[in-house]
Homo-oligomer: A and B are copies of this chain.
């Protein structure tokens, strides 16, 4: 029985400004390799007959980019969200378009996963639990007290995973350190496996209006080749929410599978620098694009689309030159890049 990859393309990636821009945001950029993050997400489940062709959910603005980057992926489908309503409606759209017994594997399009084989193994474990009507989240092994992520607390063991005892949204540093020390917590990676019909039933229980409006949008929608256009009016009426808030934190059937797969959400420039650490020089400096000259630097990440970057005496700084914008930020400062005037007013 196939696993149906559902690839979500809703992220704006403003913290990766000035490379990530509204017209061509983070998923569609070759950040970690020569492939874009979206292409990597597609490739990760391609050519493996345990996985069905992908269903992509995205906004209209990026439909042509997606079709181009899908290339000749056979059987791929594109669901075009009439409005951005967060992850729960996007996932529900896909669920409503799949057979109710289909197991869907929901994947963000803008994460990096170094070990595809480990990803697929975790997907198989998650799918097995999903077939037993668990709502399954991938639990990423935490390796630092990150305050920017949600955490999952492991409960009773299940076959290939664990029940989830508790969801914790972005904790403060002290709590994050406790979680890391306890060994009981994983990061919520935003990757899920559900049986489509079960996901819709749970959504109907906790968000009946959302479930009804999604059903109406699908019933009133129209197919156009590989593209599906849900009806705009009911979809626009949805009160958007994340799948975590709408379903995962409410259900009695939440489960997680541990995933050790070199995961990064490439959430900001420091995270990208870490994902590229294998390319670092002896002082921990990483250059992308270029040209780049480092002098007396350590832990510097420099990326240019043409102009030379010369960096002197810096530690733990990211320098990004792209499209006529120059960003220089500390690793800590990288969190607020999306709030800079340049990123906000693009």
In the complex, identify which listed stretch (A53-61, A64-72, A271-279, A318-326) lies at the interface while the others stay far away.
A318-326
A310 partner, pick from B296, B312, B342, beta carbons under 8 A: B342
Kindly list chain B residues whose C-beta atoms are within 8 Å of the C-beta of A306. Answer: 324
A340 touches B307 (CB 8 A): no
Q: How far is A326 from B320 in the complex, measured between Cα atoms in Å?
A: 10
A319 touches B312 (CB 8 A): no
Q: How far is A311 from B307 in the complex, measured between Cα atoms in Å?
A: 18
In the complex, identify which listed stretch (A90-98, A199-207, A331-339) lies at the interface while the others stay far away.
A331-339
Q: Which residue of chain B has the shortest Cβ distance to A337 in the bound complex?
A: B312
Q: A329 in the interface, Cβ–Cβ < 8 Å?
A: yes
Q: How far is A292 from B28 in the complex, measured between Cα atoms in Å?
A: 28
A340 touches B293 (CB 8 A): yes
Q: How large is the interface on A (under 10, 10 to 19, 20 to 34, 35 or more residues)?
A: 20 to 34
Q: How far is A330 from B295 in the complex, measured between Cα atoms in Å?
A: 11
- Name the interface residues of A265-323: CB closer than 8 Å to any CB of B: 293, 295-296, 304, 306-314, 317, 319, 321
B333 touches A326 (CB 8 A): no
A314 touches B340 (CB 8 A): no
A308 touches B324 (CB 8 A): yes
Q: A114 in the interface, Cβ–Cβ < 8 Å?
A: no
Kindly list chain B residues whose C-beta atoms are within 8 Å of the C-beta of A312. Answer: 327-330, 333-334, 336-337, 340
Q: How far is A258 from B337 in the complex, measured between Cα atoms in Å?
A: 49
The verdict on A336 contacting B293 (CB below 8 Å), with A317-B328, A327-B310, A327-B312 known, is no
A309 partner, pick from B310, B328, B334, beta carbons under 8 A: B328
Q: A341 in the interface, Cβ–Cβ < 8 Å?
A: yes
Q: How far is A312 from B295 in the complex, measured between Cα atoms in Å?
A: 21
**In angstroms, how far is the closest chain B Cβ from the Cβ of A214?**
39
Kindly list chain B residues whose C-beta atoms are within 8 Å of the C-beta of A314. Answer: 317, 328-330, 333
**What are 13 pairs between A and B in contact, CB < 8 Å?**
A293-B340, A295-B339, A306-B324, A307-B324, A307-B326, A308-B326, A310-B327, A312-B329, A312-B330, A312-B333, A312-B334, A313-B330, A328-B328
Chain A interface (Cβ < 8 Å from any Cβ of B): 18, 293, 295-296, 304, 306-314, 317, 319, 321, 324-330, 332-334, 336-337, 339-342
Q: A293-B340, A310-B328, A311-B328 are in contact. List 10 more A-B contacts (CB 8 A).
A: A296-B333, A310-B326, A310-B329, A312-B330, A312-B334, A312-B340, A313-B329, A313-B333, A314-B329, A326-B326
